[in-house]
Amino acid sequence: MATLTKTTISVAELDEMIERGESFLLLDVRNQDEFERWKIEGRNPFETVHIPYFQFIEDEDKSVSRVPKGKQVVVVCAKGGSSEYVADVLRQRGYDAVNLEGGMIAWGNYYRVRRIEEVTDVALYQIIRVARGDLAYAVVSNGEGILIDPTRHTEQYTNLAEREGFKIVAIFDTHAHADHISGGPKLAKALGVPYFMHPYDAIHPIDMLPATIEYEYLKDGFTFQFGNATLKGIHVPGHTLGNMAFLVNDRYLFTGDSIFIVSVARPDLGGRGQEWAPIHYESLYKKLLVLPDETLVFPAHFATASREGRPDGTFYDTLGNIKRNNPREYQSPSKEAFVEFMLSTLPVFPPQYVDIKRVNAGLLVPDEEKAQELELGKNVCALADAY
Ligand SMILES: [Fe+2]
Protein backbone atom coordinates (compact mmCIF):
# COMPACT_ATOMS: atom_id res chain seq x y z
CA MET A 1 0.00 0.00 0.00
CA ALA A 2 1.16 3.49 -0.73
CA THR A 3 1.39 5.84 2.20
CA LEU A 4 0.06 9.37 2.33
CA THR A 5 3.55 10.70 1.67
CA LYS A 6 3.91 8.84 -1.62
CA THR A 7 3.07 11.05 -4.57
CA THR A 8 3.88 8.93 -7.61
CA ILE A 9 3.85 5.31 -8.72
CA SER A 10 5.58 3.67 -11.64
CA VAL A 11 3.83 1.70 -14.36
CA ALA A 12 5.46 -1.49 -12.97
CA GLU A 13 3.92 -0.77 -9.55
CA LEU A 14 0.54 -0.18 -11.16
CA ASP A 15 0.83 -3.49 -13.03
CA GLU A 16 1.58 -5.28 -9.75
CA MET A 17 -1.40 -3.62 -8.04
CA ILE A 18 -3.71 -4.79 -10.83
CA GLU A 19 -2.22 -8.29 -10.91
CA ARG A 20 -2.66 -8.62 -7.13
CA GLY A 21 -6.28 -7.50 -7.44
CA GLU A 22 -5.85 -4.50 -5.15
CA SER A 23 -8.73 -2.13 -4.67
CA PHE A 24 -8.00 1.35 -6.03
CA LEU A 25 -9.57 4.01 -8.19
CA LEU A 26 -8.07 4.93 -11.53
CA LEU A 27 -8.77 8.55 -12.40
CA ASP A 28 -8.13 9.19 -16.10
CA VAL A 29 -7.86 12.91 -16.93
CA ARG A 30 -7.20 12.69 -20.68
CA ASN A 31 -9.62 14.03 -23.30
CA GLN A 32 -12.69 12.03 -24.25
CA ASP A 33 -11.31 10.77 -27.57
CA GLU A 34 -7.99 9.66 -26.03
CA PHE A 35 -9.86 7.89 -23.23
CA GLU A 36 -12.15 6.07 -25.63
CA ARG A 37 -9.31 4.99 -27.82
CA TRP A 38 -7.13 3.35 -25.18
CA LYS A 39 -7.79 2.63 -21.51
CA ILE A 40 -5.75 1.01 -18.77
CA GLU A 41 -7.08 -2.51 -18.28
CA GLY A 42 -5.90 -5.64 -16.52
CA ARG A 43 -6.65 -9.18 -15.50
CA ASN A 44 -8.43 -8.06 -12.31
CA PRO A 45 -11.17 -5.44 -12.26
CA PHE A 46 -10.80 -1.97 -10.74
CA GLU A 47 -12.91 1.15 -10.81
CA THR A 48 -12.13 3.79 -13.44
CA VAL A 49 -13.46 7.35 -13.41
CA HIS A 50 -12.94 9.69 -16.34
CA ILE A 51 -12.85 13.44 -15.68
CA PRO A 52 -10.92 15.46 -18.29
CA TYR A 53 -8.16 17.73 -16.99
CA PHE A 54 -9.76 20.89 -18.39
CA GLN A 55 -12.77 20.29 -16.13
CA PHE A 56 -10.48 20.36 -13.09
CA ILE A 57 -9.19 23.70 -14.31
CA GLU A 58 -12.65 25.13 -15.05
CA ASP A 59 -14.43 23.93 -11.94
CA GLU A 60 -12.20 22.32 -9.36
CA ASP A 61 -14.87 21.89 -6.65
CA LYS A 62 -17.31 20.15 -8.97
CA SER A 63 -14.63 17.89 -10.44
CA VAL A 64 -13.24 16.88 -7.05
CA SER A 65 -16.76 16.12 -5.80
CA ARG A 66 -17.07 13.52 -8.57
CA VAL A 67 -14.07 11.55 -7.28
CA PRO A 68 -15.25 8.84 -4.87
CA LYS A 69 -13.57 8.80 -1.46
CA GLY A 70 -12.16 5.87 0.48
CA LYS A 71 -9.71 4.30 -1.97
CA GLN A 72 -6.27 5.16 -3.18
CA VAL A 73 -6.56 7.20 -6.39
CA VAL A 74 -4.11 6.66 -9.26
CA VAL A 75 -4.25 9.60 -11.67
CA VAL A 76 -3.25 9.12 -15.30
CA CYS A 77 -2.95 11.44 -18.30
CA ALA A 78 -1.09 11.19 -21.60
CA LYS A 79 2.43 11.91 -20.36
CA GLY A 80 2.18 12.36 -16.60
CA GLY A 81 2.09 16.19 -16.46
CA SER A 82 -1.55 17.17 -16.02
CA SER A 83 -2.17 14.13 -13.85
CA GLU A 84 0.56 15.35 -11.50
CA TYR A 85 -1.37 18.58 -11.04
CA VAL A 86 -4.67 16.76 -10.43
CA ALA A 87 -3.06 14.31 -7.96
CA ASP A 88 -1.69 17.34 -6.11
CA VAL A 89 -5.12 18.98 -5.92
CA LEU A 90 -6.64 15.75 -4.61
CA ARG A 91 -3.97 15.32 -1.95
CA GLN A 92 -4.57 18.86 -0.74
CA ARG A 93 -8.20 17.88 -0.30
CA GLY A 94 -7.39 14.82 1.77
CA TYR A 95 -7.27 12.07 -0.85
CA ASP A 96 -4.56 9.41 -0.96
CA ALA A 97 -3.75 10.27 -4.58
CA VAL A 98 -0.69 9.34 -6.63
CA ASN A 99 0.41 10.30 -10.12
CA LEU A 100 1.23 7.59 -12.65
CA GLU A 101 4.76 8.47 -13.78
CA GLY A 102 5.02 8.93 -17.55
CA GLY A 103 1.27 8.50 -18.12
CA MET A 104 -0.13 6.44 -20.98
CA ILE A 105 3.13 6.69 -22.95
CA ALA A 106 4.97 4.88 -20.17
CA TRP A 107 2.12 2.38 -19.73
CA GLY A 108 2.21 1.65 -23.47
CA ASN A 109 5.93 0.95 -23.34
CA TYR A 110 5.86 -1.15 -20.17
CA TYR A 111 6.80 -4.84 -20.26
CA ARG A 112 6.14 -7.68 -17.85
CA VAL A 113 8.50 -10.63 -18.25
CA ARG A 114 7.56 -14.07 -16.97
CA ARG A 115 9.21 -17.45 -17.15
CA ILE A 116 6.76 -20.21 -18.08
CA GLU A 117 7.24 -22.49 -15.09
CA GLU A 118 5.54 -25.59 -16.46
CA VAL A 119 8.02 -25.77 -19.35
CA THR A 120 11.24 -27.39 -18.15
CA ASP A 121 13.13 -28.90 -21.12
CA VAL A 122 13.86 -25.37 -22.37
CA ALA A 123 13.76 -22.05 -20.51
CA LEU A 124 10.80 -20.20 -21.97
CA TYR A 125 10.19 -16.53 -21.26
CA GLN A 126 7.12 -14.55 -22.26
CA ILE A 127 7.82 -10.86 -22.78
CA ILE A 128 4.48 -9.14 -22.39
CA ARG A 129 3.77 -5.64 -23.61
CA VAL A 130 0.85 -5.34 -21.25
CA ALA A 131 -1.00 -2.29 -22.56
CA ARG A 132 -0.95 -3.36 -26.20
CA GLY A 133 -1.43 -7.12 -25.75
CA ASP A 134 1.76 -7.98 -27.64
CA LEU A 135 3.52 -11.21 -26.66
CA ALA A 136 7.12 -12.03 -27.57
CA TYR A 137 9.22 -14.99 -26.52
CA ALA A 138 12.74 -16.06 -25.69
CA VAL A 139 13.40 -19.80 -25.81
CA VAL A 140 16.70 -20.98 -24.36
CA SER A 141 18.51 -24.30 -24.47
CA ASN A 142 22.05 -24.86 -23.24
CA GLY A 143 22.77 -21.15 -23.12
CA GLU A 144 21.56 -20.52 -26.69
CA GLY A 145 18.46 -18.42 -27.03
CA ILE A 146 16.15 -17.54 -29.89
CA LEU A 147 13.68 -14.68 -29.92
CA ILE A 148 10.24 -14.85 -31.49
CA ASP A 149 8.39 -11.65 -32.40
CA PRO A 150 10.51 -9.18 -30.41
CA THR A 151 9.09 -5.66 -30.28
CA ARG A 152 10.99 -2.45 -30.98
CA HIS A 153 12.17 -1.94 -27.38
CA THR A 154 15.11 -4.22 -28.02
CA GLU A 155 16.75 -3.54 -24.64
CA GLN A 156 14.01 -5.70 -23.10
CA TYR A 157 15.53 -8.70 -24.86
CA THR A 158 19.22 -7.91 -24.45
CA ASN A 159 18.65 -7.17 -20.74
CA LEU A 160 16.82 -10.48 -20.32
CA ALA A 161 19.65 -12.37 -22.05
CA GLU A 162 22.19 -10.70 -19.80
CA ARG A 163 20.15 -11.29 -16.64
CA GLU A 164 19.48 -14.96 -17.42
CA GLY A 165 22.90 -15.68 -18.93
CA PHE A 166 22.09 -16.74 -22.48
CA LYS A 167 23.32 -15.75 -25.91
CA ILE A 168 20.79 -14.69 -28.52
CA VAL A 169 21.64 -16.78 -31.62
CA ALA A 170 18.71 -16.07 -33.96
CA ILE A 171 15.61 -13.92 -34.25
CA PHE A 172 12.31 -14.93 -35.86
CA ASP A 173 9.22 -13.01 -36.82
CA THR A 174 6.12 -15.14 -37.27
CA HIS A 175 4.92 -12.59 -39.84
CA ALA A 176 5.11 -8.97 -40.97
CA HIS A 177 3.24 -7.34 -38.12
CA ALA A 178 0.61 -4.70 -38.79
CA ASP A 179 -0.11 -3.57 -35.25
CA HIS A 180 3.37 -2.93 -33.90
CA ILE A 181 6.90 -2.25 -35.01
CA SER A 182 9.18 -5.28 -34.97
CA GLY A 183 12.50 -5.10 -33.16
CA GLY A 184 13.79 -8.08 -35.14
CA PRO A 185 15.77 -6.49 -37.99
CA LYS A 186 17.38 -3.85 -35.75
CA LEU A 187 18.37 -6.29 -33.03
CA ALA A 188 19.65 -8.93 -35.47
CA LYS A 189 21.88 -6.32 -37.06
CA ALA A 190 23.17 -5.09 -33.71
CA LEU A 191 23.96 -8.62 -32.50
CA GLY A 192 25.22 -9.97 -35.83
CA VAL A 193 22.72 -12.85 -35.80
CA PRO A 194 20.26 -13.97 -38.50
CA TYR A 195 16.77 -12.51 -38.74
CA PHE A 196 14.26 -14.91 -40.27
CA MET A 197 10.92 -14.25 -41.93
CA HIS A 198 8.91 -15.77 -44.76
CA PRO A 199 9.61 -14.12 -48.14
CA TYR A 200 5.88 -13.71 -48.90
CA ASP A 201 5.76 -11.21 -46.04
CA ALA A 202 8.63 -9.25 -47.50
CA ILE A 203 6.28 -7.67 -50.02
CA HIS A 204 4.03 -4.94 -48.69
CA PRO A 205 0.51 -6.23 -49.46
CA ILE A 206 -0.97 -2.80 -50.27
CA ASP A 207 2.01 -1.08 -51.94
CA MET A 208 3.28 -4.28 -53.63
CA LEU A 209 6.81 -3.05 -52.88
CA PRO A 210 9.62 -5.34 -51.74
CA ALA A 211 11.10 -5.00 -48.26
CA THR A 212 14.46 -3.31 -47.91
CA ILE A 213 15.37 -5.00 -44.62
CA GLU A 214 17.88 -7.82 -44.48
CA TYR A 215 16.37 -11.21 -43.70
CA GLU A 216 16.81 -14.92 -44.25
CA TYR A 217 14.13 -17.09 -45.78
CA LEU A 218 11.74 -19.23 -43.80
CA LYS A 219 9.73 -21.95 -45.47
CA ASP A 220 7.41 -24.77 -44.52
CA GLY A 221 9.40 -27.55 -42.88
CA PHE A 222 12.34 -25.27 -42.01
CA THR A 223 14.24 -26.46 -38.95
CA PHE A 224 16.64 -24.68 -36.63
CA GLN A 225 18.73 -26.20 -33.87
CA PHE A 226 19.70 -24.20 -30.77
CA GLY A 227 21.30 -25.88 -27.78
CA ASN A 228 19.52 -29.23 -27.50
CA ALA A 229 16.25 -27.84 -28.82
CA THR A 230 14.72 -27.90 -32.29
CA LEU A 231 12.41 -25.38 -33.86
CA LYS A 232 10.29 -26.43 -36.81
CA GLY A 233 8.58 -23.88 -39.07
CA ILE A 234 5.02 -24.46 -40.27
CA HIS A 235 3.76 -22.15 -43.02
CA VAL A 236 0.23 -21.09 -42.09
CA PRO A 237 -0.89 -18.33 -44.48
CA GLY A 238 -4.15 -16.56 -43.71
CA HIS A 239 -3.51 -13.58 -41.44
CA THR A 240 -0.67 -12.78 -43.83
CA LEU A 241 0.54 -14.80 -46.80
CA GLY A 242 3.88 -15.48 -45.14
CA ASN A 243 2.50 -16.26 -41.67
CA MET A 244 4.55 -18.93 -39.89
CA ALA A 245 4.00 -20.95 -36.74
CA PHE A 246 6.95 -22.44 -34.89
CA LEU A 247 6.88 -25.76 -33.08
CA VAL A 248 9.67 -26.16 -30.52
CA ASN A 249 10.54 -29.68 -29.31
CA ASP A 250 7.28 -30.93 -30.87
CA ARG A 251 5.36 -29.52 -27.89
CA TYR A 252 5.40 -25.72 -27.76
CA LEU A 253 3.55 -24.04 -30.57
CA PHE A 254 4.24 -20.36 -31.26
CA THR A 255 1.23 -19.48 -33.35
CA GLY A 256 1.96 -15.83 -34.18
CA ASP A 257 -1.28 -14.42 -35.52
CA SER A 258 -3.34 -17.53 -36.20
CA ILE A 259 -4.65 -19.33 -33.11
CA PHE A 260 -5.24 -17.04 -30.13
CA ILE A 261 -6.41 -18.06 -26.65
CA VAL A 262 -9.71 -16.34 -27.37
CA SER A 263 -10.88 -15.99 -30.99
CA VAL A 264 -8.68 -16.21 -34.09
CA ALA A 265 -6.49 -13.86 -36.12
CA ARG A 266 -8.33 -11.72 -38.64
CA PRO A 267 -7.65 -12.29 -42.35
CA ASP A 268 -8.09 -8.75 -43.68
CA LEU A 269 -5.08 -6.70 -42.55
CA GLY A 270 -3.41 -7.09 -45.95
CA GLY A 271 -6.52 -5.59 -47.57
CA ARG A 272 -7.62 -8.98 -48.99
CA GLY A 273 -9.94 -10.53 -46.41
CA GLN A 274 -12.18 -12.26 -48.98
CA GLU A 275 -9.23 -14.01 -50.60
CA TRP A 276 -7.24 -14.76 -47.47
CA ALA A 277 -10.04 -16.09 -45.19
CA PRO A 278 -10.34 -19.46 -47.04
CA ILE A 279 -6.54 -19.80 -47.02
CA HIS A 280 -6.63 -19.12 -43.27
CA TYR A 281 -9.14 -21.96 -42.83
CA GLU A 282 -6.92 -24.42 -44.72
CA SER A 283 -3.88 -23.49 -42.61
CA LEU A 284 -5.71 -23.76 -39.31
CA TYR A 285 -7.64 -26.92 -39.96
CA LYS A 286 -5.01 -28.87 -41.91
CA LYS A 287 -1.80 -27.80 -40.19
CA LEU A 288 -2.39 -26.55 -36.65
CA LEU A 289 -5.62 -27.96 -35.22
CA VAL A 290 -4.45 -31.48 -36.12
CA LEU A 291 -1.59 -31.26 -33.61
CA PRO A 292 -2.04 -33.10 -30.27
CA ASP A 293 -4.46 -31.52 -27.80
CA GLU A 294 -1.74 -31.26 -25.13
CA THR A 295 0.35 -28.95 -27.36
CA LEU A 296 0.92 -25.67 -25.51
CA VAL A 297 -0.09 -22.66 -27.56
CA PHE A 298 1.85 -19.41 -27.22
CA PRO A 299 0.25 -16.69 -29.37
CA ALA A 300 1.61 -13.31 -30.48
CA HIS A 301 -1.25 -11.40 -28.84
CA PHE A 302 -3.95 -11.37 -26.27
CA ALA A 303 -7.01 -9.17 -26.65
CA THR A 304 -8.54 -9.07 -23.15
CA ALA A 305 -6.42 -9.85 -20.09
CA SER A 306 -9.44 -10.59 -17.89
CA ARG A 307 -10.48 -13.41 -20.26
CA GLU A 308 -7.07 -14.71 -21.28
CA GLY A 309 -4.63 -14.04 -18.44
CA ARG A 310 -3.46 -16.79 -16.09
CA PRO A 311 -3.03 -16.20 -12.33
CA ASP A 312 0.76 -15.95 -12.73
CA GLY A 313 0.41 -13.14 -15.25
CA THR A 314 1.16 -15.25 -18.36
CA PHE A 315 -0.89 -15.96 -21.48
CA TYR A 316 -1.02 -19.46 -22.96
CA ASP A 317 -3.18 -22.58 -22.99
CA THR A 318 -3.34 -26.10 -24.38
CA LEU A 319 -4.61 -26.57 -27.90
CA GLY A 320 -7.36 -28.85 -26.51
CA ASN A 321 -8.66 -26.13 -24.17
CA ILE A 322 -8.54 -23.53 -26.91
CA LYS A 323 -10.58 -25.74 -29.26
CA ARG A 324 -13.16 -26.36 -26.55
CA ASN A 325 -13.41 -22.70 -25.55
CA ASN A 326 -13.73 -21.32 -29.11
CA PRO A 327 -16.13 -23.61 -30.99
CA ARG A 328 -17.03 -21.06 -33.66
CA GLU A 329 -13.38 -20.59 -34.59
CA TYR A 330 -11.94 -24.06 -34.11
CA GLN A 331 -14.85 -26.46 -34.60
CA SER A 332 -16.25 -24.91 -37.73
CA PRO A 333 -18.51 -27.17 -39.76
CA SER A 334 -17.17 -26.03 -43.15
CA LYS A 335 -14.85 -23.65 -44.92
CA GLU A 336 -17.84 -21.61 -46.13
CA ALA A 337 -19.27 -21.25 -42.61
CA PHE A 338 -15.85 -20.25 -41.27
CA VAL A 339 -15.27 -17.66 -43.99
CA GLU A 340 -18.71 -16.17 -43.48
CA PHE A 341 -18.24 -16.05 -39.72
CA MET A 342 -14.83 -14.37 -40.03
CA LEU A 343 -15.89 -11.76 -42.56
CA SER A 344 -18.94 -10.84 -40.49
CA THR A 345 -16.89 -10.41 -37.29
CA LEU A 346 -14.11 -8.06 -38.40
CA PRO A 347 -13.23 -5.16 -36.11
CA VAL A 348 -12.33 -1.75 -37.55
CA PHE A 349 -9.18 -1.61 -39.66
CA PRO A 350 -6.88 0.92 -37.94
CA PRO A 351 -5.55 3.10 -40.78
CA GLN A 352 -2.07 3.31 -39.25
CA TYR A 353 -1.63 -0.44 -39.78
CA VAL A 354 -0.71 0.16 -43.43
CA ASP A 355 2.16 2.42 -42.30
CA ILE A 356 3.30 -0.01 -39.60
CA LYS A 357 3.67 -2.71 -42.26
CA ARG A 358 5.74 -0.20 -44.27
CA VAL A 359 8.00 0.34 -41.24
CA ASN A 360 8.41 -3.41 -40.77
CA ALA A 361 9.40 -3.80 -44.41
CA GLY A 362 11.96 -0.98 -44.13
CA LEU A 363 9.94 1.23 -46.49
CA LEU A 364 9.34 3.90 -43.85
CA VAL A 365 11.63 4.93 -41.00
CA PRO A 366 9.79 6.69 -38.13
CA ASP A 367 11.36 8.77 -35.38
CA GLU A 368 10.43 7.92 -31.78
CA GLU A 369 7.46 10.29 -31.72
CA LYS A 370 6.03 8.85 -34.93
CA ALA A 371 6.64 5.29 -33.70
CA GLN A 372 4.72 6.06 -30.52
CA GLU A 373 1.87 7.59 -32.49
CA LEU A 374 1.67 4.54 -34.81
CA GLU A 375 1.55 2.19 -31.83
CA LEU A 376 -1.16 4.03 -29.86
CA GLY A 377 -3.85 1.67 -28.60
CA LYS A 378 -4.31 -2.04 -28.10
CA ASN A 379 -3.68 -4.45 -30.94
CA VAL A 380 -6.78 -5.40 -32.95
CA CYS A 381 -5.39 -8.51 -34.65
CA ALA A 382 -8.22 -10.86 -33.58
CA LEU A 383 -11.86 -10.94 -34.63
CA ALA A 384 -14.24 -8.54 -32.85
CA ASP A 385 -15.54 -11.13 -30.37
CA ALA A 386 -12.15 -11.16 -28.60
CA TYR A 387 -12.46 -7.59 -27.33
FE1 LIG B 1 -0.61 -8.89 -34.90
Q: What pTM, to 2 d.p., does this model score? A: 0.96
Cα-only R_g, the chain: 22
Helix (H) or strand (E) holding 159: helix 155-164
Q: For the segment 313-328, what is each residue's pLDDT rounded down to a tens digit?
A: 999 999 999 999 999 9
What are the CB-based long-range contacts (under 8 Å, 24+) for 273-277?
273/342, 273/343, 273/346, 274/343, 276/237, 276/238, 276/239, 276/241, 277/238, 277/338, 277/339, 277/342, 277/343
Do residues 214 and 299 share a domain? yes
User: In this structure, are 83 and 206 located in the same domain?
Assistant: no
Count of beta carbons in the 10 Å neighbourhood of residue 63: 21
Using the mean position of ligand 1's atoms as its centre, give its distance from the Cα of residue 240 in Å. 10
Both 80 and 155 in one domain: the answer is: no
- Domain CATH for 51: 3.40.250.10
CB atoms within 10 A of CB 133: 28
With beta carbons less than 8 A apart as the criterion, state whether 263 and 285 touch. Answer: no
Is 381 part of the annotated catalytic residue set? no
Expressed in angstroms and rounded, the spacing between residue 135 Cα and the centre of ligand 1 is 9
In a domain, 184, yes or no: yes
Residue 48: inside a domain, yes or no? Answer: yes
Are 102 and 79 within one domain? yes
Residue 120 lies in a domain: yes
One domain, residues 72 and 134: no
- Domain span at 339: 111-386
CA of 66 to the centre of ligand 1 (A): 38
Which stretches within 335-385 are classed as H helix?
Answer: 335-343, 352-360, 368-374
Give a yes or no: residue 1 inside a domain: no
Same domain, 155 and 103: no
User: Are residues 99 and 211 located together in one domain of the fold?
Assistant: no
- Based on the domain organization, do 16 and 139 belong to the same domain? no
Q: Which of 11, 51, 77, 354 is catalytic?
A: 77
Q: Is residue 2 part of a domain?
A: no
Give residue 300 CA to ligand 1 midpoint distance, Å: 7
Residues 228 and 214 in one domain: yes
Q: Which residues contact 240 (CB under 8 A, 6 or more apart)?
A: 175, 176, 200, 201, 205, 257, 269, 270
Distance 84 CA to ligand 1 centre (A): 34
CB 29 within 8 A of CB 58: no
Q: Does one domain contain both 68 and 128?
A: no
Q: What is the mean pLDDT of the chain?
A: 96
How many angstroms separate the alpha carbon of residue 129 from the centre of ligand 1? 13
Residue 138 lies in a domain: yes
Q: Rounded to an integer, what distance in angstroms lies between the CA atom of residue 114 and that of residue 156?
A: 12
Contact 375, 295 (CB under 8 A): no
Pick from 89, 107, 125: which residue ends a domain?
107
Considering the domain architecture, whether residues 140 and 53 belong to the same structural domain is answered as no
Q: Which of 63, 78, 107 is the last residue of a domain?
A: 107
Per-residue pLDDT in tens (0 to 9) along the chain, 387 residues: 444 568 999 999 999 999 999 999 999 999 999 999 999 999 999 999 999 999 999 999 999 999 999 999 999 999 999 999 999 999 999 999 999 999 999 999 999 999 999 999 999 999 999 999 999 999 999 999 999 999 999 999 999 999 999 999 999 999 999 999 999 999 999 999 999 999 999 999 999 999 999 999 999 999 999 999 999 999 999 999 999 999 999 999 999 999 999 999 999 999 999 999 999 999 999 999 999 999 999 999 999 999 999 999 999 999 999 999 999 999 988 999 999 999 999 999 999 999 999 999 999 999 999 999 999 999 999 999 898
Q: Which of 107, 126, 156 is the last residue of a domain?
A: 107
The total domain count for the chain is 2
Q: Report yes or no on 193 lying in a domain.
A: yes
Ion ligand 1 neighbours, Cβ < 5 Å: 179, 257, 381
**Sheet with strand 252-256: strands edge to edge:** 223-226, 229-235, 244-248, 252-256, 296-299, 317-318
Query: Which amino acid, one-letter code, is at 86?
Result: V
Examine the domain organization and report whether 306 and 360 are in the same domain.
yes
For 131, the 3-state DSSP assignment is coil
Any idea what the CATH number is for the domain that residue 221 is in?
A: 3.60.15.10
Residue 3 is assigned to a structural domain of this protein: no
